[in-house]
Each structure stands twice: as structure tokens, then as C-alpha cells.
Chain A
Amino acid sequence: MGASPAGAPVTASTGDSAPERDSPPELDPVIHAQARLRVTVALAALGPDERVTFPRLRQLLEMTAGNLSIHLRKLEDAGYVEIVKTHQRRTPVTFVALTPDGRSAFDRYVAALQSLIGTAPSHAPRNDG
């Protein structure tokens, strides 16, 4: 735990040409992509002891099965998501849940975003004034 398995954390950009700060907050690259952020938010909306089937998650996010699988795998590789394949009345079911590591990574991500916006209130810097 601790180090991000998918590489060094990226520095967030608050705009196309945001000026560098002294120590800009680091945003977790695993979560900081539109689709994986949406997956993480959806899983975080469940209770800490809850898990959701793959088809329901796909329906909630309105994503294709293939695309959801790709992003879930990245989250699983980072240890943020647990995927359990089981059987219910002989029918195979895949359950997806955010791990405690995933939940705290998401909390850190939100805190980093907030501090980023807090330290850079004019996120679209003007060059004309």
C-alpha cells in the first residue's frame, strides 16, 4: 500500500496552461480519468459492506461491458476494487466492490481536488491582466 501501482502520481492541471505551484497536490492517476472516476463514485455511493453485480453496475453507469471491464481491471490492479466471481442458484454472478484501500484513495483524491481548487481559485488563468 502507499505507492501507486500504476506509476507515479500525476500532477493535476487545473487548466490548459495552469502555472506551476510550489507543491501542487498530486492526483491519483488510477482514479483521475473520466470513466474510472465515474466507476469509483458509483461504488463509493454503496455502503462499506455492500457490493454490486456487474450488470447492475453497467446499467447504473450506462457503459458497455467491454469498456467497464477494462476500467475495472485497472482499478482492481491498483487494489482499489475487489471483483468476486461466485454462483447464485447455479448462475454465475460477478460482484464488484470498492476495497477499504479504494475508499481511502477516493477520499484522498477528493481532498486533493479540493485543495487544488482552494489554492488555485482562478483555475483558468488570464494572460491579459
Chain B
Amino acid sequence: MDDGPEGDAPEGDAPLSAIGSLAVIQAEGRRVGRLVRFNPAIVNAMWAVAWFVGFGCAFLAYGPDRLIPGWLGPAVAAALLVAAEVASFAYGMRVGSGIAGPSRTSAAMYGWSWTLGYVCLTVLNVALTHRGLSGPDVTLLWSGSSLLLAGVLHLTGGTLFRDPALYAVGVWTMVCAAVAVVAGVPGNFLVLAFAGGGGFAALAVYTGWVRPRRARR
């Protein structure tokens, strides 16, 4: 329902009281800010859940003493990682829709480097598997390379946005990549779930809670 304009004046031309104006500024600033500003906490939280639950299931589905069916672990991990990628992409597109500027271009290019990086990594790993890599080596290849790529991309993000916390998580993730391979199967799944997912969870808490509270002071 539209309220019709009063007389010949354009709709919404009436002045407000001072209190009313401040209320509009606060409410609208918060509402529009949520719609146009990328909130990294949302994306990091999605990735934390995908890695923790996905690779946790992969661990529980491995070996003769498995707690869930063998096919279910990799299936849950793949489904959650793809879902997280699609959701991150859709969220980024929705927030950035119709907005232009140098910082938006940088952010969009950074977002694309995650998508492109993981698409190419998937092709590379699948090709190596087809060439005869098998068993635990395939598992270690996936865990090591995906953590390494995530780490490098966090480093890039830290550099791009001048964010030391993001950079530190990148370093942590790369160290975890090496540890995951050294740990072997199925310990690598635990490294992925707790260290990899934990890195994203730490970032989600930092970007969604710690940093906004500091900025308000």
C-alpha cells in the first residue's frame, strides 16, 4: 500500500522532529548497512560449519570401526563444501549488486580467487587421481592442498584488507596443511575439522563480534 503524496509536495517531503530524525538515521543506517556491506562473519561461520561437520563426518566414516556408513562421510563433506561455496557466492553477489567502486572491485576479485582457486584445485586433484593416485594418498592430497589454498587465500585477504588477524589465520591454516599430511589418514580429517574449521570459526567470532565492539569504542 502506498501512501499518496500530500497535495503537490513529493512524498516524504515533510520535516521531522530532531528525535525522529536521529531515529531514522540509526534505524536506516543499520538496515541499509546490513544490505550493502559484506559481513565476513556470515561467510566465515558457514565455512566453519562446513569444514567441521563435513570433515568430522569423513573421520567418523573412515576405517573398519566407522561409526557412520563409509559413503556418508565424503558425501556430507562434499555437499557441505559445495553448499558453502554457493551460499558465499550468492551472498557476495547480493551485497555487491548495483554498487561500484575501487574497493568493491578489489573485494569481488578476491571473492573470485576463492572460486577459481578451488575449481582449479578440484580439476587438478581429480586428474591426479585418474592417473593412478589411490587410497590414503588421495585423501592426503585433498586435505593438504585444500588447506594450503585456503591459507594462501587468507594471506592474500589479510594483505588486501590490511587485516593482521586474517593474515595470522592464513599462516595457521598453512601450518595445518603440513600437519594434516604428516598426521596421515584418518588423523588428517581431525586436523581439517578442528584446525581448518577452527580457523574459520575464530575469524567469524573476530569479524562478527570482537572487531565491531572495538570499532564502536
Tell me the minimal C-beta distance from B165 to chain A in angstroms. Answer: 20
Q: Counting CB contacts under 8 A, is B98 at the interface?
A: yes
Given known contacts A42-B28, A45-B32, A64-B2, A51 and B101 CB-to-CB distance under 8 angstroms:
yes
* Docked-complex contact A41 and B29, CB < 8 angstroms: yes
> A-B contact count, CB below 8 Å?
115
Measured between beta carbons, the chain A residues less than 8 angstroms from B15 are 10, 27, 29, 32-34
Tell me the minimal C-beta distance from A88 to chain B in angstroms. Answer: 9
Measured between beta carbons, the chain A residues less than 8 angstroms from B37 are 45
Given known contacts A41-B25, A60-B35, A51 and B99 CB-to-CB distance under 8 angstroms:
yes
**Chain B residues bordering chain A, tally (CB within 8 A):** 31
Q: Counting CB contacts under 8 A, is A91 at the interface?
A: no
Binary contact readout A81-108 vs B (1 if CB under 8 angstroms, 0 otherwise): 0000000000000010000000000000
C-alpha spacing A29/B21, complex, angstroms: 12
* Docked-complex contact B98 and A53, CB < 8 angstroms: yes
Measured between beta carbons, the chain B residues less than 8 angstroms from A56 are 97-99
* Docked-complex contact A38 and B10, CB < 8 angstroms: no
| Residue among A32, A41, A67, A70 facing the most chain B CB atoms (10 A cut-off) | A41
Nearest-neighbor residue (CB-CB) of B26 within chain A: A41
C-alpha spacing A13/B24, complex, angstroms: 16
Measured between beta carbons, the chain A residues less than 8 angstroms from B5 are 67
Q: Which of B13, B18, B32 contacts A60 (CB 8 A)?
A: B32
* Docked-complex contact A50 and B100, CB < 8 angstroms: yes
Known: A34-B24, A45-B33, A49-B101. 9 other contacts (CB 8 A): A37-B21, A37-B24, A41-B25, A42-B32, A45-B32, A49-B102, A51-B100, A52-B98, A52-B99
Contacts A/B (CB < 8 Å), 28 sampled: A12-B18, A13-B17, A13-B18, A14-B17, A32-B16, A32-B21, A34-B14, A34-B24, A35-B13, A37-B21, A37-B28, A38-B24, A38-B28, A41-B29, A45-B32, A47-B101, A47-B103, A47-B104, A49-B102, A50-B100, A53-B100, A55-B98, A59-B98, A95-B100, A113-B25, A116-B18, A123-B17, A123-B18
